Amino acid sequence: MTRIVYVNGRYLPYAKAAVHVEDRGFQFADAVYEVCEVRGGYLVDEPRHMARLARSLAALEIDAPMSAPALAHVMRETIRRNRVRDGLVYLQVTRGEGPREFAFPAAGVPRTVVCLARPLDFGAQDALALTGIAVKSMPDIRWRRSEIKTVMLLPACLAKQAARAEGAREAWFVDDDGFVTEGASSNAWIVTGERVVITRQIAPIILAGVTRATLIDVLREEQMTFVERPFRLEEALQAREAFITSATNTVMPVVRIDGRIIGDGKPGHVTRRLRSKFHQFADISGA
Ligand code: PLP
């Protein structure tokens, strides 16, 4: 089956899907994006993803290319045309194309909109969650506006590559004061010996993860003890459990940080419970 990609109003075969060389997304990373999980053909947590997309666009003063329902329709149609049941959908909006000038182009330049969908093997993810993943820490060299989901992802690419070189699947960024900010493409969590679940509070230096928000709903409903505060790498190394959250991983146990074993080296009870509960609380109302 040919993959189909949405580009500026057209559904094109993968090989024909392209944007202009002077698109500002390509030239300046002047673009924002969303990645949503697709489960059983449904978009997971669509309202939260669309709300964050609107916030990212507003923060960069990029007018929305179309209404939120129209964008959601594009995502659904891309999922449908690619027959994705379990996987992800990726939506990118750039400021559009124009001669390479740093300052914004004149008003009225059409935004570039691209949407892709592809299947993921959630069975393999479940298998991975049985053993957990390793993460590697590294200095957070990103800009101070990580709350905006831009395509300016080079620090994340470098971090993931360095992690992979050491057999780790994710990198955890650490700020200048020694506190973990978040993962390269996930939010970072620990569970203390007293079973208190901790993640850093929302601030401009981290992305407000949609999975993070939904997991907080789970924690509240399940009446689990939970605190939003910064934690140091040393505290994470002493934690009983650790995990990451992201749309495509939901809740993924972390069993090693910088080669050191966390807890007993196996996915912990709290993490497993949160992973198993997640989809009961995630929103599929737009289905
Ligand atoms: N933090 C960063 C830097 C990310 O790139 C991502 C996802 O890509 C997340 C956190 C998790 O966000 P979400 O749960 O919305 O996927």
170 band by pLDDT with thresholds 50, 70 and 90: very high
Over residues 55-69, the pLDDT tens digits come to 999 999 999 999 999
pLDDT recorded at residue 284: 87
Burial class (CB in 10 A: 0-12, 13-18, 19+), 93: buried
Over residues 241-253, the pLDDT tens digits come to 999 999 999 999 9
Is the separation of the CB atoms in 117 and 241 below 8 Å? no
How many Å apart are CA 16 and CA 229, to the nearest integer? Answer: 47
Mean pLDDT (whole number) for 136-150: 98
- Percentage of the residues of the chain whose pLDDT score is greater than 90: 97
Mean pLDDT (whole number) for 160-180: 98
CA 260 to chain centre: 25
Amino acid of residue 264: D
Select from 88, 186, 274 the residue to mutate for testing ligand 1; criterion: most ligand atoms less than 8 Å from CB: 186
pLDDT recorded at residue 190: 98
CA of 246 to the centre of ligand 1 (A): 5
Average pLDDT, the chain: 97
CA of 241 to the centre of ligand 1 (A): 20
Residue corresponding to tokens 């069993």: 255
Over residues 97-116, the pLDDT tens digits come to 999 999 999 888 999 999 99
199 band by pLDDT with thresholds 50, 70 and 90: very high
Residue 152: pLDDT over 80: yes
19 Cβ below 6 A of ligand 1: no
Nearest to 189 by CA among 224, 143, 165: 224
207 Cβ below 6 A of ligand 1: yes
Over residues 212-248, the pLDDT tens digits come to 999 999 999 999 999 999 999 999 999 999 999 999 9
12-21, 30-39, 128-137, 276-285: least confidently modelled range: 276-285
How many Å apart are CA 111 and CA 31, to the nearest integer? Answer: 9
pLDDT recorded at residue 39: 95
155 Cβ below 6 A of ligand 1: no
Kindly report the three-state secondary structure assignment for every residue of the chain: CCCEEEECCEEEEHHHCCCCCCEHHHHHCCEEEEEEEEECCEECCHHHHHHHHHHHHHHCCCCCCCCHHHHHHHHHHHHHHCCCCCEEEEEEEECCECCCCCCCCCCCCCCEEEEEEEECCHHHHHHHHHHCEEEEEEECCCCCCCCCCECCCHHHHHHHHHHHHCCCCEEEEECCCCEEEEECCCEEEEECCCCCEEECCCCCCCCCCHHHHHHHHHHHHCCCCEEECCCEHHHHHHCCEEEEEECCCEEEEEEEECCEECCCCCCCHHHHHHHHHHHHHCCCCCC
287 band by pLDDT with thresholds 50, 70 and 90: low
Residue 49: pLDDT over 60: yes
- Provide the Cα torsion 93, 99, 100, 106; round to 10°: -60
Q: Annotate 120-153 with DSSP letters as a single string.
A: --HHHHHHHHHH-EEEEEEE--S-S-TTS-BS--
Q: Which of 16, 136, 149, 160 is catalytic?
A: 149
Instruction: Give the residue whose CA is nearest to atom 3 of ligand 1.
Output: 185
Residue corresponding to tokens 């089956």: 1
pLDDT recorded at residue 286: 62
Residue 17: pLDDT over 60: yes
Active site residue 149: yes
Residue 209: pLDDT over 70: yes
What does the DSSP 8-state code read for residue 200? P
211 Cβ below 6 A of ligand 1: yes
Over residues 173-193, the pLDDT tens digits come to 999 999 999 999 999 999 999
Residue corresponding to tokens 């007018």: 63
SS3 5: strand
